[in-house]
């Protein structure tokens, strides 16, 4: 039996038991048999959740791009590595072979070096979903630079915050991007951001939309001529197992995003191993994940996981609604996609459109369907299963996080019987626990509690960039000696997990993880606003939408409230990005607060969700009278 490729439920249980009983031996075998190392490790695992410190494969030397690219060249040089499907359906798709990927990554890496980037430097990548995004990411890894990809939907302010937090020397961007029928001026956003970023000395600009952009002399350069002049060979930097590979920001409960730091060897091993099993990838399959590389899903399951397995990974530039809501299915037919991985919010949006947009296309190539980013509701699950998978393709509801680096709880297709809304069983190596609020582990089945992970897994984030204390407080302080995920979950009678949602101040909107604090900070920037509080409420397509309670400085504020609402959303767009806009804004005279001054979001959430029959304990409120007035004016 190979531990690397799990095919049956029995095998899963065997492998799982081994991964728990002898984790070091288990991971050592996988690392040994399936990857290329310049030097093997001295020790498989060293850990202490109190400091907290975790090291996997310490002492090993490797380069992840050698594992993702070079080693496939002997047998698969002409196989398509990246299949690029442009925004416009009439623009030709591009098949980038492993050989071409090698050459283009090396050229890009040589350009980075020529611009003075060396091992350990941070490079910010702010690009649309074009091949250069994957290539730039790999080019950084080739030379040991730490990439920080920022999703190209983030605003200038959000971009500047991220660039400054990790002190990036360089930004890689494009003249603009296509998004359905729209174009977006990415370079303009970068220019605005860089007003606040003295650390950036170079901006490389890929040409995509051929717009007229300002090029700041001495700082900005067009990328293509530099690439054309660069050599197609670049000796990979020899990296230590625990050298940082990338930083990726995720929302937290304060205004400052958390720069999660992922390191090289453990991340590689885990991303590759999960990819192989969760998608049951076979040599000639075409795999498609619809996420953006700006999120962890794209890092692990568009770039590193698939390429480490020598897969063909499809990259789609556009949106599901352009030129119409049949686009995803037309791409599945066109490229005979075998594994399709998307988010519940996309499924719900597509399910609202007529079935004729699905039935027009031949989806018979599909073998495995995936879901990620938020709980998938029963209705969406069945629509996906019936109409896309035709009840033949198992749905893998994969639970994980930016912090976990890879999929943690998931069915293994064709092995684990699926159950709608359940992420089912832990992946080998993952030891989940449910805790009650007092910190006691709930060991039985049929319990619900806070989801924790008791033992390290190879791809866990090692720290928050520049703030190890915050890492410790956020993830390792709620419960003793265990990683706290921030999610609630239940375990059913057979041990299947169902993720019930966040238990902290993070709201998942359309699969995007949004912290309340940065949005509230943005609203409070409006000169007319005194204070604000954001909560989530259920939304048919987005899963959750945002509801804002806003106190104005001048109660007699004479301007039309609808204008104010627009201005508030405009400020949010500028500071955070359009994904954080509020669906509803209620102006109020007060917010329910505890005696210590903390806003009682629990109450605001219930009001926004129309669940006011049982508001829970309001006795600790400083100002219980505002609750009634807020309820009377709910939108
Ligand atoms: C949060 C992490 C990891 C990929 C994308 C999101 C929620 C994620 C599921 C799922 C229920 C899910 C959790 C988690 N989440 N996948 N299958 N079922 N909830 O990464 O932005 O770091 O968000 O997304 O609440 O904590 P992220």
Beta bridge partners of 47: 54
Q: What's the whole-model pTM score?
A: 0.92
Confirm or reject: Cβ of 285 under 6 Å from ligand 1: no
Query: CA-to-CA distance for 455 and 484, rounded, in angstroms?
Result: 11
Max CA pair span of the chain: 74
Name every residue whose Cβ is closer than 8 Å to that of residue 385 and which is 6 or more positions away in sequence: 369, 391, 393, 395, 420
pLDDT of 251: 82
**Rounded to the nearest 10 degrees, what angle do helices 516-524 and 561-575 cross at?**
120
Classified as helix, coil or strand, 70 is helix
Please give the structure tokens belonging to residue 635: 């939108």
pLDDT band at 513 (very low <50, low <70, confident <90, very high): confident
Query: CA-to-CA distance for 247 and 258, rounded, in angstroms?
Result: 9
Q: 345: cis peptide before it, omega within 30°?
A: no
Please give the structure tokens belonging to residue 359: 């039935």
Q: How far is the CA of 131 from the centre of ligand 1 (A)?
A: 26
Confirm or reject: Cβ of 373 under 6 Å from ligand 1: yes
Confirm or reject: Cβ of 402 under 6 Å from ligand 1: yes
Please give the structure tokens belonging to residue 314: 């499809």
Assess whether pLDDT exceeds 80 at residue 618.
no
Nearest atom (ligand 1) to Cα of 485: 26
Q: How far is the CA of 257 from the centre of ligand 1 (A)?
A: 16
Name every residue whose Cβ is closer than 8 Å to that of residue 419 and which is 6 or more positions away in sequence: 492, 496
pLDDT of 228: 98
Q: How far is the CA of 377 from the centre of ligand 1 (A)?
A: 14
Please give the structure tokens belonging to residue 502: 């966040």
Query: CA-to-CA distance for 271 and 612, rounded, in angstroms?
Result: 44
Confirm or reject: Cβ of 400 under 6 Å from ligand 1: yes
Distances (CA, A) of 53 to 22, 242, 429, 472, 566: 20, 11, 18, 10, 46
As a whole-number percent, the residues of the chain with pLDDT over 90 amount to 85
Confirm or reject: Cβ of 292 under 6 Å from ligand 1: no
Classified as helix, coil or strand, 258 is strand
Query: CA-to-CA distance for 155 and 144, rounded, in angstroms?
Result: 28
pLDDT of 121: 98
pLDDT band at 191 (very low <50, low <70, confident <90, very high): very high
Q: Which residues of 280-304 are buried (b: 16+ CB within 10 A; e: fewer)?
A: bbeeebbbbbbbbbbbbbbbbbbbb
Query: CA-to-CA distance for 30 and 33, rounded, in angstroms?
Result: 5
Query: CA-to-CA distance for 168 and 158, rounded, in angstroms?
Result: 14
Query: CA-to-CA distance for 150 and 137, rounded, in angstroms?
Result: 11
Beta bridge partners of 171: 124, 203
**Angle formed at CA 72 by CA 70 and CA 75, multiple of 5 degrees:** 130
Query: CA-to-CA distance for 496 and 514, rounded, in angstroms?
Result: 27
pLDDT band at 136 (very low <50, low <70, confident <90, very high): very high
Query: CA-to-CA distance for 519 and 475, rounded, in angstroms?
Result: 22
Higher pLDDT, 134 or 255: 134
Radius of gyration of the chain (CA): 24
Q: How far is the CA of 112 from the centre of ligand 1 (A)?
A: 33
As a whole-number percent, the residues of the chain with pLDDT over 70 amount to 98
The preferred substitution site among 294, 400, 422, 427 for testing ligand 1, maximizing ligand atoms within 8 Å of CB, is 400
Confirm or reject: Cβ of 489 under 6 Å from ligand 1: no
- Ligand 1 atom 12: residue of nearest CA: 374
- Ligand 1 atom 1: residue of nearest CA: 401
In contact, 372 and 343? CB cutoff 8 Å = yes
Mean pLDDT calculated for residue range 427-435: 98
Could you tell me which of 333, 277, 338 has the C-alpha nearest to residue 308? Answer: 277
Mean pLDDT calculated for residue range 376-389: 95
Assess whether pLDDT exceeds 90 at residue 252.
no
In contact, 368 and 384? CB cutoff 8 Å = no
In contact, 211 and 178? CB cutoff 8 Å = no
Q: pLDDT tens digit string along 273-314?
A: 999 999 999 999 999 999 999 999 999 999 999 999 999 999
The secondary structure element, H or E, covering residue 484 is strand 483-491
Distances (CA, A) of 159 to 150, 171, 507, 525: 7, 10, 20, 18
In contact, 288 and 368? CB cutoff 8 Å = no
Sign of torsion over alpha carbons 401, 404, 407, 409: negative
Beta bridge partners of 202: 170
pLDDT band at 254 (very low <50, low <70, confident <90, very high): low
Write down the mean pLDDT value for the chain: 95
Confirm or reject: Cβ of 485 under 6 Å from ligand 1: yes
Confirm or reject: Cβ of 372 under 6 Å from ligand 1: yes
Instruction: Pick the range with the lowest mean pLDDT from 76-80, 351-355, 510-514, 597-601.
Output: 597-601
Confirm or reject: Cβ of 257 under 6 Å from ligand 1: no
Nearest atom (ligand 1) to Cα of 400: 3
**DSSP secondary-structure letter at 179?**
E
- Ligand 1 atom 6: residue of nearest CA: 373
The secondary structure element, H or E, covering residue 176 is none
Confirm or reject: Cβ of 302 under 6 Å from ligand 1: no
Q: How far is the CA of 372 from the centre of ligand 1 (A)?
A: 6
Mean pLDDT calculated for residue range 505-523: 88
The secondary structure element, H or E, covering residue 463 is strand 463-464
Q: pLDDT tens digit string along 551-597?
A: 998 876 666 788 999 999 999 999 889 999 999 999 998 888 876 67
In contact, 359 and 329? CB cutoff 8 Å = no
């Amino acid at each position: 039996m190979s531990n690397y490729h799990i095919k049956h439920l029995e095998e899963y249980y065997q492998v799982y038991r081994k991964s728990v009983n002898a984790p070091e031996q288990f991971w050592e075998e996988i690392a040994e048999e399936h990857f290329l190392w310049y030097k093997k490790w001295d020790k498989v695992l060293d850990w202490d959740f109190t400091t907290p410190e975790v090291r996997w494969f310490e002492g090993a030397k490797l380069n992840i791009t050698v594992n993702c690219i070079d080693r496939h060249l002997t047998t698969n040089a002409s196989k398509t590595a990246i299949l690029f499907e442009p925004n416009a359906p009439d623009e030709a798709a591009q098949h980038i072979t492993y050989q071409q990927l090698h050459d283009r990554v090396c050229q890009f890496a040589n350009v980075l070096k020529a611009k003075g980037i060396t091992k350990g430097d941070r490079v910010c990548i702010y690009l649309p979903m074009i091949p250069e995004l994957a290539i730039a990411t790999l080019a950084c890894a080739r030379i040991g630079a730490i990439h920080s990809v920022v999703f190209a939907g983030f605003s200038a302010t959000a971009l500047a915050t991220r660039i400054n937090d990790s002190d990036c020397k360089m930004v890689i961007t494009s003249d603009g991007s296509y998004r359905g029928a729209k174009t977006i001026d990415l370079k303009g956003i970068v220019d605005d951001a860089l007003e606040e970023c003295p650390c950036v000395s170079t901006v490389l600009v890929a040409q995509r939309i051929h717009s007229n952009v300002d090029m700041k002399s001495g700082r900005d350069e067009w990328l293509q001529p530099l690439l054309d002049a660069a050599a197609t060979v670049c000796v990979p930097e020899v990296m230590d197992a625990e050298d940082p590979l990338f930083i990726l920001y995720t929302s937290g409960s304060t205004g400052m995003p958390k720069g999660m730091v992922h390191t090289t060897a453990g991340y590689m091993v885990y991303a590759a191993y999960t990819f192989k099993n969760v998608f049951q990838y076979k040599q000639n399959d075409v795999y498609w994940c619809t996420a953006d590389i700006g999120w962890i899903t794209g890092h692990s399951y568009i770039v590193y996981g698939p390429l480490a397995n020598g897969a063909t990974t499809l990259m789609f530039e556009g949106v599901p609604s352009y030129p119409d809501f049949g686009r995803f299915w037309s791409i599945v037919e066109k490229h005979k996609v075998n594994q399709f991985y998307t988010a519940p919010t996309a499924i719900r949006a597509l399910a609202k459109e007529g079935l004729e947009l699905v039935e027009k296309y031949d989806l018979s190539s599909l073998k495995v369907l995936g879901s990620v980013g938020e709980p998938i509701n029963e209705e969406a699950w069945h629509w996906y299963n019936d109409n896309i998978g035709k009840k033949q393709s198992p749905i893998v509801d994969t639970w994980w996080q930016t912090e976990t680096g890879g999929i943690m709880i998931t069915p293994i297709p064709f092995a684990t019987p699926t159950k709608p809304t359940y992420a089912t069983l832990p992946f080998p190596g993952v030891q989940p626990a449910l805790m009650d609020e007092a910190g006691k582990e709930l060991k039985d089945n049929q319990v619900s509690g806070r989801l924790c992970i008791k033992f390290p897994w190879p791809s866990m984030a090692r720290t928050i960039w520049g703030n190890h204390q915050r890492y410790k407080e956020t993830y390792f302080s709620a419960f003793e000696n265990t990683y706290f995920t921030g999610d609630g979950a239940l375990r059913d009678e057979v041990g299947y997990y169902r993720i019930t949602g966040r238990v902290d101040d993070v709201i998942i909107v359309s699969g995007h993880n949004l912290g309340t604090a940065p949005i509230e900070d943005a609203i409070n920037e409006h000169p007319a606003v005194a204070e604000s509080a954001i909560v989530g409420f259920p939304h048919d397509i987005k899963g959750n939408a945002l509801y804002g309670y806003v106190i104005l400085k001048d109660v007699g504020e004479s301007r039309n409230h609808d204008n104010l609402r627009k201005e508030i959303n405009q400020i949010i767009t500028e500071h955070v990005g359009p994904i954080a806009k509020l669906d509803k804004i209620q102006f109020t005279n007060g917010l329910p607060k505890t005696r210590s001054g903390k806003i009682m979001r629990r109450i605001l959430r219930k009001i926004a969700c129309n669940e006011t029959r049982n508001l829970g304990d309001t006795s600790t409120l400083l100002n219980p009278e505002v609750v009634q007035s807020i309820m009377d004016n709910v939108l």
